[in-house]
Structure 1
Amino acid sequence: MGNIRTEIRGALGVITLDRQEALNALTHEMVREMADALRAFAGDDAVERVLITGAGERALCAGGDVVTLRDDVDRTRGQAAARFWRDEYALNARIARFPKPTVALQHGIVLGGGVGISGHASHRVVTDSTRIGFPEVTIGFVPDVGATWLLTRHRGELGTRAALTGDHFGAADAIALGLADSYVPTDRLAELVRLLESTHPDAAIEQLAAEPPAAEPPAGTLEDAQAQIDHAFAGDDAEQIVARLEAAGGEGRALAATISKRSPFAVAVTLAALRRARRLGSLEEALAQEYRVSRHTSLAPDFSEGIRAQLIDKDRNPTWTPPTLAGVTHAMVEGCFAPVPEGDLELPAPLAEEIA
C-alpha cells in the first residue's frame, strides 16, 4: 500500500497512516486503502480487534488534503472532491459500524478528517500530546466527517463553541466534547498496544488505569466554563452569539474576537448545520447532510480564499465574502442544505452485511 500500512499482531489488526511529511493528512488513495484494510480485517477470523494510529509522534492525522481539494474545485467545480467526500464519509460510517472493537490512538494533531477516522471508533484514546479540533471555519469550510453528529450528542453548547471558533483542544477537553473516551499517558501507549494484541480494549485500558503510575489528563478548560458557554452559544443566530460573548468580557470577548476572524459565511452555515444535526436520528443522516453542505460551501468564494490565506500563501489574511456576519443572508445559508446535482450521499450497507 501507499501511505497506509497494515499488519496483524496477535489478535490485533493495525492500520497506520504513514504520510508524516504532511502530518498524515488523508488523500483519496489513503481513504480507499483504509476501507480495504477494514474490509479485510472484518473478514479475518484471526483479527479480533483493530487499531488505528499514525506514524511518527506529531500527528494521528491533520485532516484531509484540502489544498488538492481546492485545486479540483477551481478546475472542475469539485468533481474529484465530491468523489473524495463520498468515499471519506462512507469510511467514517464504516468505522462507526465496524463489527469488531476498534481503538483509535488520538495522539498529536487530530484535526477535521483525523477526527473522522478516530472519533467514530468504539474506543478513542487521547494522550498528553493530543491537539484535537475542527478548524474548518478558518478556511471557509464547515465541519464534516460526522462532526456535526459528534458535537451535538452531549447536552449543552460545548460542541458549538468548538465548531464556531475552530480551536484545538487537549485530552481532557476532547473527552468533555465527546470526541474521545479515555486518557493514556504518552509513555504508556506502546504498553497499551502490546496489551491489545491479546486483550479486549476495555480490559486493556482498565488495566493501565488500575496500575501505577495511573494518571489523569492535564486539566482542561471547557467543563469549568460550561454554564457560561451554554448561555453564550445558545440559539440559532451567530451575530447574537458574538454579541453575548462580547458583553461577557474577559474570555468571552476573546472568543468573540476569534469567531470574528473566521469566515462569516462558514460560521453561519456551521451553526445551522449543528442545529439541524441535533434533530437527526443517525450518523448516516448527518453525513448525508454534511455531503450537501460540503459540496455547496466548497463552491463558495471563502473555501478557495481561506485555503490560499492559511495554507498556500500563508499570509493569514483572508478576504471573506461577505466580510461580516451581518452580510450573510438566510438564503445563502439555506442554499447549502439544498440537493446537489449528482444526488445525495448513499452509504454502503454495514460491513457485517457486506461480509455475510
Structure 2
Amino acid sequence: MSDINIRVEGRAGRITLTRPKALNALSHDMCMAIDTALHLWREEEQVALVIIDAEGDKAFCAGGDIAELYETGMRGDFDYGQSFWRDEYRLNALLATYAKPVVSFMQGYTMGGGVGIGCHGRHRVVEESSRIAMPECGIGLVPDVGGSYLLARAPGQLGVYLGTTAARMNASDAILAGFADHFIPRAQWDDLIQILEASGEVDHIISHAHTPPQADLLNLLPEINRLFDAPNLAEIQSQLAAYGSTFAQDTLAVMQRNSPLAMACAIEIIRYLQAETPDMYRALRMEYRYTHRAMQEGDFLEGIRAAIIDKDRNPQWKFANQPVPRDAIDRMLAPLGVDGLKFET
C-alpha cells in the first residue's frame, strides 16, 4: 500500500506512514494494515519491538481521513463510518495492550486519529516541532480513539480543558498531560531508530532522552483547575464568562466556536471515566456510543461541511447559544445494545 510502509528491520517491526502531502491522514485501509501487522508480529520471535513513525516534517498524523466519512454520510451510508470507527478503536485498544513495546516518533502535528496510533504505546517520543491535540469538538465529535482515556488521566482539570478547546500541546505540554513520555531532539531520531532495530532493546530510548523545557501549560494549570472545576458545559462557560482574565475570555471565545453537543458529551465521558480508575476499554466503548450516532443525530456532518467542504468556518450547530439539554446528552451516550463496541478476547 502506497500510504503506509510495513516491514521488519532487524529486531523491529516497522510501520511508517507515507502520506506526507496529506499530513499522513489515517484511512480505514491503513488502520487495517496496521492491525494485521500487529497480530502477525505478536507471534514472530524476531520482532522484539514495534516502531511507528511517519514521513515528512509537518505531521506524524494529523487525524483520520474524514473526507470519505463525509461523502458516505451525506449519501445516507452510515455503516462505513461506523465500521471505520469500530475497527479504528479496536486497533487503539490493541496498541494500548500490546505485549511487545510500541515506540512512536511524533513530529509536527499529531491530532485525532494520530493520537490513537501514536499515544497509546509504551514509549512515545516527541521533539521540538511536536504539536499534539484532540480537535474533535470543532467538527462535531467527542475526543475519541482512546483520547478520552488520556484526558481523564491528565492532571487536575487539564483533560477537560484540552478536550473542549482543542488546545495544541507542545512537546513539554504533551509530556505533562500524559500524551508523550520522552523528549528527544529530531536530529537524534535516525540514529536511535537504527539502534533500536539492531538491538531490540528499549533502554536506548531512555539514554537518548533529554529534559524538556518547562511546559507552557504548567503555569496555566491553577487557572485551568479553577475554571474547569464544574460538572457540565454550562457551568464551565459561566465560570469562564465571570472570570476577568485574558485567558478565561480567550478560552470562552474558542469554545463558542465548537459544537456544544460534542463538548457537553466530551465532559460527560471524561467525568464518567474519572469517577473510577480510567480504563481504556470503557473509554472506547463510551466514545463509540457517540460516534456511532454522530452522523445521524449529532453535528459531525455539519462540522465537516464547514471545516473542509465549504470551508466557510460557520457551522450551524445544534443547541448553539443555549444550554445543551440533559436528554440530548443521554441520547448520544446511551448504550447501543447489540451494536456496542466489542473487543477480541
Q: Return the offset for 1:73.
A: 2.1
Looking at structure 2, the residues matched to 174 and 13 of structure 1 have their Cα atoms a distance apart, in angstroms, of: 25
Task: Tell me which residue corresponds to 1:224.
Answer: 219
Alignment of 1:93-104 (within 5 A): 93-104=93-104
Alignment of 1:251-270 (within 5 A): 251-270=247-266
Task: Tell me which residue corresponds to 1:332.
Answer: 328
Looking at structure 1, the residues matched to 191 and 140 of structure 2 have their Cα atoms a distance apart, in angstroms, of: 40
Alpha-carbon deviations, 1:307-333, whole Å to 9, x = none?
A: 111111212121212212x24100001
CA change 1:276–1:262 in 2 (3 A) is: same
Aligned partner of residue 16 in structure 2, secondary structure: strand
Aligned partner of residue 222 in structure 1, secondary structure: helix
Alignment of 1:336-347 (within 5 A): 336-340=332-336, 343-347=339-343
Q: Return the offset for 1:192.
A: 1.6
Q: Which runs of 5+ in 1 are unaligned?
A: 210-214, 350-356
1:128 paired with 2:128, answer yes
Looking at structure 2, the residues matched to 299 and 159 of structure 1 have their Cα atoms a distance apart, in angstroms, of: 27
CA contact (8 A) 2:285 2:341 kept: yes
Task: Tell me which residue corresponds to 1:317.
Answer: 314
Task: Tell me which residue corresponds to 1:352.
Answer: none
CA contact (8 A) 1:103 1:201 kept: no
Task: Tell me which residue corresponds to 1:146.
Answer: 146
Looking at structure 2, the residues matched to 289 and 8 of structure 1 have their Cα atoms a distance apart, in angstroms, of: 35
Q: Which runs of 4+ in 1 moved over 6 A?
A: none
Q: Return the offset for 1:344.
A: 0.6
Aligned partner of residue 291 in structure 2, secondary structure: helix
CA change 1:41–1:143 in 2 (3 A) is: same
Task: Tell me which residue corresponds to 2:302.
Answer: 305
Question: Please, which moves more after superposition, 333-342 or 20-29?
Answer: 333-342
Aligned partner of residue 7 in structure 1, secondary structure: strand
Alignment partner of 2:288 out of 291, 294, 307: 291
CA change 1:224–1:202 in 2 (3 A) is: farther
CA change 1:256–1:54 in 2 (3 A) is: same
Q: Return the offset for 1:109.
A: 0.9
Question: Please, which moves more after superposition, 249-258 or 297-306?
Answer: 297-306
Q: Return the offset for 1:280.
A: 5.0
Looking at structure 2, the residues matched to 110 and 224 of structure 1 have their Cα atoms a distance apart, in angstroms, of: 23
Question: Please, which moves more after superposition, 37-46 or 332-341?
Answer: 332-341
Cα RMSD for the two superposed structures:
1.6
Looking at structure 1, the residues matched to 338 and 308 of structure 2 have their Cα atoms a distance apart, in angstroms, of: 29
Q: Which runs of 5+ in 2 are unaligned?
A: none
Q: Return the offset for 1:21.
A: 2.3
Letter in 2 for 1:21: K
Aligned partner of residue 57 in structure 1, secondary structure: coil
Q: Return the offset for 1:16.
A: 0.7
TM-score (norm 1): 0.92
Letter in 2 for 1:60: F
CA contact (8 A) 2:139 2:299 kept: yes
Alignment of 1:1-356 (within 5 A): 1-199=1-199, 202-209=202-209, 215-246=210-241, 247-279=243-275, 281=277, 282-300=279-297, 302-324=299-321, 326-340=322-336, 343-349=339-345
Q: Return the offset for 1:219.
A: 3.8
Q: Size of the alignment, in residue pairs? A: 343
Aligned partner of residue 16 in structure 1, secondary structure: strand
Looking at structure 2, the residues matched to 155 and 171 of structure 1 have their Cα atoms a distance apart, in angstroms, of: 16
